[in-house]
Structure 1
Amino acid sequence: MHNPLVSIIINCYNSDKYLRIAINSAISQTYENWEIIFWDNQSTDKSADIVKSYNDERINYFYAPIHTPLGEARNLAIEKAKGEWVCILDCDDIWHKNKLQAAFDKLDSYKYKDEVSLIYSKTIYIDGDGKEFGRFHEHHSGKIHDLLLKRGDFVFISSAIFRKDVLDKVGKIDVTLHYAEDYDVILKVTRNYYALCVDKFHTFYRVHRNNLTSTKVYEYDVENFEFLNKYVKENNLGFNLKKAVFLENSKRMTASIFKLFGKRDFSNLFKIITNYPQYLILSPYYIFYFLIRKLLK
C-alpha cells in the first residue's frame, strides 16, 4: 500500500476563533504521514500563538513577508509543500479523523489510480456553533470535468486532496480570481484526469456570517458568471457544455435575486438584472424549482 506524504495547507488571516478546532482535526488523522504548511498572512489576533502552542514537528509555520489576497497566499504556501499530495483546510472547517486514510484506501483500490488528480469526500454543513444543519449529498467519481460545468461546483475546497504535480502543471490557484478560484482549480485538475470521491461525510464546512458567499453575494455571483463564460471560450468547449454553462448561470442568477432581495440590497439587485438580462429567460422555471425544493425540505 502506497503511503504518500500529504501536505495540509492552512492559510490564516485573523482566524483564531475556530483555528484550534481545525488544527486538531488535522492532527487527529488516523493517517499519520502528513505535514502542515501553516501560512500566516500577517495576522494580528491570537492565530500565531495558537499554532505555535503545538509541539509537533510536522507543523511548519510561515509568516508572510507581505499580506496578499487568499489565492496568492495559497500558492505561496503550496510552494513550501513537500508532499506528493496537497490539500487545503480552511481555518473554520473540520475533518473527520478518517478522512485521509479513507482517501488513500480508496485510491489504492482504484483501477486508474495513476491517472487520479483529485480525491474528495462528501460534506456536512455546520453553523458557527458547530451544529449540523444540512448535508451535501452530490458526489461523482471518474471523469467529472464536464459534470462540474453541467451541475456546478460540487467539490468543497476543504474536502479536496490534489496530486501536487498536476496542481503545479495547471498553474495552481488563479490569483486574478477572488471568488471563483476554487471552482477554477477543480476544473483545471479534472480536465484530463480522474477524480475519486469517498462516499463518506468526512468534511465539515462551516457557514457563518463572515463567509464570502454570505457577505459578497453580488461580487461572488458576477465573478462566477464571467469566469464560466471565459472558461468556455478559452477551452473551446462544445455546444452542450456552452448550454450547460448558460443553464448554470441562469440558476445562479435566480438564486442571487432571492439572496439580494432577502438582504434588501436593491442597488446590486438592479445592477445584476440590468447587466445580465439574458439569464432571466429561465428565471420563472428556476423560481418554481427553488420553491419546490424549499417546500420539500
Structure 2
Amino acid sequence: MKGPEISVCVPAYQAERYLAETLRSVLAQTFRNFELVVLDNASTDRTAEILRGFDDPRLRVVRNSRVLPLAENWNRAVEVSTAPLVKLLCADDVLHPRCLERQYPVLAGDPGVALVASRRDLINEESRLISRNRGLRGLLGPHESQAVIRRIVRHGGNPIGEPAVALFRRAQFDAVGGFDARWFFPMDLALWIRLLEHGDFHGIRESLAAFRVTRGSLSALGDESLYAEQRSLSAEIANGAEWDVSRVDRLMGAAKAPAARLRRQALFLIARGQGRQNDLKGLRSRRSSSSY
C-alpha cells in the first residue's frame, strides 16, 4: 500500500487553547494523501485529552517523555514522520483547505524546487482576521535560490514567512541537519536558507495558511532578541561566498530592517489591543451573569 505523500508535523506544547482548531484545519484538506503527526512535548495541560478526542486514521500521536528544547522538539516532529514531503505547522496556526492541494504539485512536479511557500493571513487570538495576503513580496512564482537569498538580505526580516506557509523535502531537511539550535526566533528562516542550497524557490500567490498573532507568542515576547538574531543571521548569509550578496544588498537590508521591525510590532500591538478588549468583554459578561 502506498504511503502518505505529505507529513504535516505539529509540535504541541501546552497547546490546549488552539490545538483542536489547528488539527481540524489539517484534516479538512482537499488533498487527502497525508499523515498528521502530532508530537506532544510532555504537555501537562489538556493537550493529550484533546488529541484523544480525534478519531481519524491519518492522525498519529507521539509523546515526549520530557520537555525538549524548541529546535530539538521541532526536529523530532519531522524525524518521526514518514512522507517524502513535509510541512511543519505550529499548534496555534491553521491551514486553509486547499493548502496541500496547491503546494504538492509544485514540489512533486519539479525536482529542482527545494521550497514552496504561499502567502498567509494573520489572525488574532479569537481567529478573527487582522490582515490578509501577507508575505512573498517580490517572491511570487519561480525564483532561483540566489535571487531569493539576496531578497532575504535586502528585506531586513523574513519575506518568506513562518513554517505554516512552507512545504519542503524530507531528504533535503535531513541533509542540512534540520532546524539549527543556534537560532531561536529566526529558526525557520535559517532553515529556508539552508534548503535553498539544494534547489530553487516557488512562491504561490494565494493565501493558504493563517499565522496567529497573540500577546504571548515568541515573537511578541522577544522583540529585542528577535531583531538582534535577525541581524546576525543576515550578516552570516551575506558573508557566505556561495550567495554573492553585494554591498548594496547589505545596505538595503540595514535600511529596511527598522521598517520591518515596526510593521511586526504594529501587528502585535493590534493583537494586544484586541485581546484587552475581549478580556474586558469577558469580565463584563461574567459580572452580568453573577448579578442574577
Equivalent residue number for residue 69 of structure 1: 69
Q: TM (normalized to structure 1)? A: 0.79
**What CA distance in whole angstroms lies between the structure 1 residues aligned with 2:88 and 2:12?**
11
2:227 aligned to which of 211, 221, 231: 221
- 1:142 is aligned to 143
Task: Show the 5 A alignment for 1:182-193.
Answer: 182-193=188-199
* Per-residue CA distance 1:179-232 (angstroms, 9 max, x = gap): 111110011111341222222111111111012221110111111112221233
Offset, 1:154: 1.8
Letter in 1 for 2:143: G
Count of residues in correspondence between the two structures: 257
> In 2, distance between residues paired with 1:48 and 1:235?
47
Superposition deviation, residue 104 in structure 1:
2.2
Q: Is the 8 A contact 2:150 2:243 kept in 1?
A: no
Question: What are the Cα deviations for residues 88-146 of structure 1, in whole angstroms up to 9, with x where unaligned?
Answer: 111111111111011124446x6xx0111112211111111111121215243321233
Map 1:1-297 to 2 at 5 A. Answer: 5-107=5-107, 113-135=110-132, 136-137=134-135, 138=137, 139-140=139-140, 141-143=142-144, 144-151=148-155, 152-156=157-161, 157-235=163-241, 237-238=243-244, 240=246, 242-253=247-258, 256=261
Give 2:78's aligned amino acid: I
Distance 1:72 1:3, change over 3 A: closer
**1:54 to partner: Cα distance:** 1.0
CA contact (8 A) 1:11 1:77 kept: yes
CA RMSD in angstroms comes to 2.5
CA separation of 1:107 and 1:80: change in aligned 2, threshold 3 A: closer
Partner of 1:278: none
Give the counterpart letter for 1:207 in structure 2.
V
Deviation at 1:254, TM superposition (A): 5.6
Q: Which runs of no fewer than 5 residues in structure 1 stay unpaired? A: 264-297
Provide the rounded CA distance (Å) in 2 between the counterparts of 1:50 and 1:8. Answer: 18
Unaligned runs of 5+ in 2: 270-292
Aligned counterparts of 1:245 and 1:48: Cα–Cα separation in 2: 46
* Contact 1:145–1:191 (Cα < 8 Å) also in 2: no
| TM-score (structure 2 length as normaliser) | 0.80
Structure-1 separation of matches of 2:48 and 2:154 = 41
- In structure 2, C-alpha distance between the alignment counterparts of 1:104 and 1:87, rounded to whole Å: 10
Instruction: For 1:18 and 1:239, locate their aligned partners in 2 and report how far apart those are by CA, in whole Å.
Output: 40
